[in-house]
Chain A
Amino acid sequence: MLPDRSGPRAHDHGHTQRLDTDLEGADWSANELPAGQRLELEEEPARGHSYWSLSVHRLFRKKLAVVCLSVILVMYVGALLSPLITPYEYTAQDLSQSRAGPTLAHPFGADRLGRDMMTRVIYGLRTTVIITIISLLGGTLILGIVLGLLSGYMGRWVDSVIMRTGEVTSSFPDIILILIFVAALKPRLVGLVQGFEDATGIDWILRLGILDYAIISFALSIFGWFGMARLVRGQVLQARESQYTEAALVAGASTARILRAHVLPNILSPLIVSISAGLAGVAGSELVLSWIGIGVQPPVPSLGRMMFENGSIQVLRNEPHLILFPIGAVTLLFFCFNILGDAVNDAFNPRAR
């Protein structure tokens, strides 16, 4: 690595010296310093600006990312408020409008049963959005962080069990196991819930597809936690070894405070990055499951199911709007996920720059 030593000695010495400090400086600051200090050196000397606000600021400087974030927010909020903003019921049929093309009354046209496509696309988005949120909250955030903390803090056999289980879940093609999992367990659970509904007189659990949401979110969570858990565990192990934790302990800080003040800041940005990267993945899995036919069941609208039903060559030839609008919605969402994920990675990941 060193250049040859034939040049003037003083210059040579100075040169290698600089190289070394450069390399080591970069490595050490990434590992040891709390991220904020290093960044404040890079940016203008911004006193009182946390690492968090600097990252957000960096993200908002990118126009395209802001546009994508806005599109995602609009789609998410719109999807969650779908009963309020859609002009029709998603089950409302008008057979005279069967397979009608886009008109003012039905901007996206109507499907085979004369149901308004725009309404169904928005409700379909709601399905995707709900499952994405639950899976990411449950799988990545709760399971991942709790198991990672446990693993790192308890060590010994707890650590081994959690890490080996994670390696198992991440070492085979997940979509296949999710398929088997859902196909095997769902009919049992449906039976149980039916019994429960009969006994209590509640009738909306199956009708609104809540059970479907729960099963799919659960199945996706099982396969989604390991990356986060490994990350949290690594940070905990690192914090446990570090002198600032020792100093905090000596000063009488509680475990909770050490976790909050020393471990959490270190996992916050990888957390944001992994969530923004995971959005598209979870949404994609939900769409695949619904497409194959074991996801959310009709009449609850799902974009995956819509694309399956309208994917045939006859529909493509005669009523392409039945598939192009769902495709357009999903494509727009995925484009925005990808561009935002990339921008978030640039802005929040100190190692990526």
Chain B
Amino acid sequence: MGAYAARRLVWLPFLLIIVTFVTFALLRVGPGDPVQVWLGQHQNDEVRERLRAQLGLDDPLVVQYVRYIEGVVTRLDFGESFQFRGKSVGELLAKRIPVSLQLNLAAIIITLGVGIPVGLYAALRQGTGVDNVVVAIALAFQSLPVFITAPVLLLVFALYLDILPTSGWDGFFSPKIVLPATVMGVPGIAIVVRLVRASVLDVLGQDYIRTARAKGLSETIVRWRHILRNAMIPVVTSFGFTIAGLAGGTFIVEIYFGIPGVGFFTINSLFARDYPVIMAFAIISTTLFMLANLVVDMMYPLLDPRIRLGAGNVT
């Protein structure tokens, strides 16, 4: 277990280096000269040359990359934004990251809070009408892009019923978070419901459930301790993917609902060719994504003592 985690952790920086270098190189060959973006309308050749040299843009790509990464690793310095002059990228992102995190947290709460009970309920009533309806709905809604659900929910809850605000951001405890978080949570609900249902059905057929019932444990204990806990393993596993799915949806939901989070900011920066921001975003999101996957892998043994990491063909 320790050795396995260590091996994964050693592999992590290499993956990060590859991903960040590819991003860095892509942004450098991309359109728009950073110097032109920087200078705006006031430019002449001499100023441009001087600025290029000053920013180190004349050096070979690898040198530029190493210098950049050095700043990030040693000083957490992601450079200065092209678009908002005089502001560091770190400062700009630090203001927006909490917004996106709160939105994602709300979406996860909705996904798991609805998905797990419904999946459990459907599984315990397997074969009944309720079960069939739940499965059919979950199946139909799976992987539906968020910009499909967003206008429909907006139309129903904000325009026709007029019970929820349409857009904007007022923090975690404002009703404005309900629609965007629901929109982000819906595709996940369908997946969690199907997963929990399949997983519970699988566990129900196991010998240890029969044993637990046979030795006279109450149905409540069997459900909570034996069924739910074991059925959670695949759910936890797929949690990393759920988060990754949310990351894609964050962009769209933030743009659509006008929420000043990281996704909104990054897309704007992408169109404004504000490369330091994109680069910082790529580094942070990749690191978080990989760490999330690692944590998820590390959580298996806690839930299922039979799984021993690092043994056999797990790499």
Contacts and interface: CB of A to CB of B under 8 A. Distances in A.
Interface string B151-162: 110110011000
A19 to B, nearest CB: 10
B31 A180 contact: no
Nearest to B29: A184
Interface string B104-115: 000000000000
A187 interface: yes
B271 A284 contact: no
A45 interface: no
Interface core residue of A1, A308, A327, A342 (most chain B CB under 10 Å): A327
Contact of B151 (A281, A311, A335): A311
Contacts of A280: 142-143
A292 B289 contact: no
A281 B143 contact: yes
B244 interface: yes
Interface residues of B, number: 46
By secondary structure, the A interface counts as helix
Given A188-B29, A288-B252, A176 B247 contact: yes
Given A168-B19, A327-B151, A317 B159 contact: yes
Interface core residue of B31, B167, B207, B271 (most chain A CB under 10 Å): B31
B85 to A, nearest CB: 22
Interface string B268-312: 001100000010011001100110010000000000000000000
Interface size class of A (residues with CB under 8 A): 35 or more
B148 A331 contact: yes
A338 interface: yes
A188 B142 contact: no
A307 interface: yes
A292 B252 contact: yes
By secondary structure, the B interface counts as helix
Contacts of A172: 15, 19, 285-286, 289-290
Given A184-B26, A316-B151, A320-B155, A284 B145 contact: yes
B292 to A, nearest CB: 10
A159 B101 CA distance: 39
B147 interface: yes
A156 to B, nearest CB: 16
A338 B142 contact: yes
Contacts of A330: 145, 148
A288 B145 contact: yes
Interface in B6-27: 15, 18-19, 22-23, 26-27
A292 B248 contact: no
A334 to B, nearest CB: 5
Interface core residue of A177, A183, A331, A342 (most chain B CB under 10 Å): A183
B140 A173 contact: no
A316 B155 CA distance: 7
Interface string A316-353: 11001001000100110011011100100000000000
Contacts of B252: 288, 291-292
Nearest to A331: B148
Contacts of B117: none
16 contacts: A1-B207, A167-B15, A172-B285, A172-B290, A173-B244, A173-B247, A173-B248, A176-B285, A180-B23, A180-B278, A184-B31, A291-B252, A292-B267, A307-B148, A311-B151, A334-B145
